[in-house]
């Protein structure tokens, strides 16, 4: 990562609320709820993400950490258009000169961006894969969505991708439902990479896997970053995962970023009391 380069992704003022909002919670700096709440006590609106701002540089891994309910998943869902934002702006280098606000694009453009510019890996492989379609077919689907129609080339690309994530070629025509959780995540990663996107979003991709399997998936993510120079946003509630992967880290609490910096610095010298609590619970 070279921060002298222009950012790959710029996100400004990203806000997602569930509910209409009211005078009290819309004007407050933070949601005037209880200590652990992001829910307005007056109107019941949940502010899942509030005024999130960050840049991601090409080839960089940005970690997003926070406890359950802090807004991490909502953030990546908004970035991948799985959820519509309430407000905010996102631009990406290489799409309309990095000028267009992607959140304001029409559905067709958003589909294009999801197929060419971003890949997503979900915690639940059922969301990213068709479990009953062959693994090669899953990848083919993504390639076809990006207008690749040459059968031979599709097959070759699928086998390259599956080899990269160490799925034996003898199993490329098996459906992911036959595979272990770790293998399913690896197929999901290969599918997300099918069209060489410069940006990969990963939401709790190792949660629920055995430790040894987790290590293998984390290793794969690092190799991909090194070899393909893909920028990544890695969401995890687990600071161990963040420590292993992320160059920089954002700490989220109650829908807001409470601390943001180099991962080493955050782990060694956390400034915000909430980050201190997270870091000390890791030690």
> Which residues would be at the binding site for ligand ATP (CB under 6 A)?
18, 38, 46, 48, 66, 68-74, 237
CB of 54 to ligand ATP, least distance (A): 16
CB of 202 to ligand ATP, least distance (A): 13
Q: Which is nearer to ligand ATP, 70 or 275 (CB)?
A: 70
- 249, 25 contact by CB (below 8 A): no
Rounded to an integer, what distance in angstroms lies between the CA atom of residue 89 and that of residue 101?
Answer: 5
Rounded to an integer, what distance in angstroms lies between the CA atom of residue 132 and that of residue 178?
Answer: 9
CB of 113 to ligand ATP, least distance (A): 21
* Of 270, 265, 246, the residue nearest 72 (C-alpha): 246
Rounded to an integer, what distance in angstroms lies between the CA atom of residue 61 and that of residue 8?
Answer: 12
CB of 181 to ligand ATP, least distance (A): 18
Q: Which is nearer to ligand ATP, 183 or 266 (CB)?
A: 266
Q: Which is nearer to ligand ATP, 73 or 275 (CB)?
A: 73
Q: Which is nearer to ligand ATP, 82 or 105 (CB)?
A: 82
CB neighbours of residue 241 within 10 Å: 23
Q: Which is nearer to ligand ATP, 11 or 167 (CB)?
A: 11
CB of 233 to ligand ATP, least distance (A): 13
């Amino acid at each position: 990562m070279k921060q002298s380069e222009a950012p790959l992704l710029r996100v400004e003022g990203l806000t997602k609320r569930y509910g209409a909002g009211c005078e009290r919670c819309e004007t407050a700096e933070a949601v005037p709820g209880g200590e652990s709440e992001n829910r307005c006590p007056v109107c019941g609106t949940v502010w899942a993400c509030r005024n999130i701002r960050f840049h991601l540089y090409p080839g960089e891994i940005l970690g997003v950490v926070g406890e359950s309910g802090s807004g991490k998943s909502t953030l990546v869902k908004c970035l991948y258009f799985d959820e519509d934002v309430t407000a905010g702006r996102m631009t990406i280098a290489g799409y309309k000169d990095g000028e267009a606000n992607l959140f304001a694009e029409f559905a067709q453009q958003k589909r294009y961006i999801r197929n060419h510019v971003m890949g997503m890996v979900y915690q639940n492989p059922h969301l990213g894969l068709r479990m009953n379609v062959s693994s090669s077919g899953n990848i083919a689907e993504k390639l076809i969505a990006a207008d690749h129609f040459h059968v031979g080339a599709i097959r070759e690309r699928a086998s390259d991708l599956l080899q990269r994530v160490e799925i034996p070629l003898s199993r490329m025509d098996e459906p992911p439902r036959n595979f272990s959780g770790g293998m399913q995540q690896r197929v999901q990663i290969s599918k997300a990479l099918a069209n060489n996107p410069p940006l990969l979003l990963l939401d709790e991709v190792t949660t629920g896997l055995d430790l040894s399997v987790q290590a293998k998936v984390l290793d794969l993510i690092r190799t991909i970053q090194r070899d393909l120079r893909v920028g990544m946003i890695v969401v995890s509630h687990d600071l161990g995962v963040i420590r292993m992967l992320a160059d920089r880290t954002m700490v989220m609490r109650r829908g807001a970023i409470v601390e943001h910096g180099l991962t080493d610095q955050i782990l060694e010298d956390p400034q915000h009391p909430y980050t201190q609590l997270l870091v000390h619970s890791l030690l």
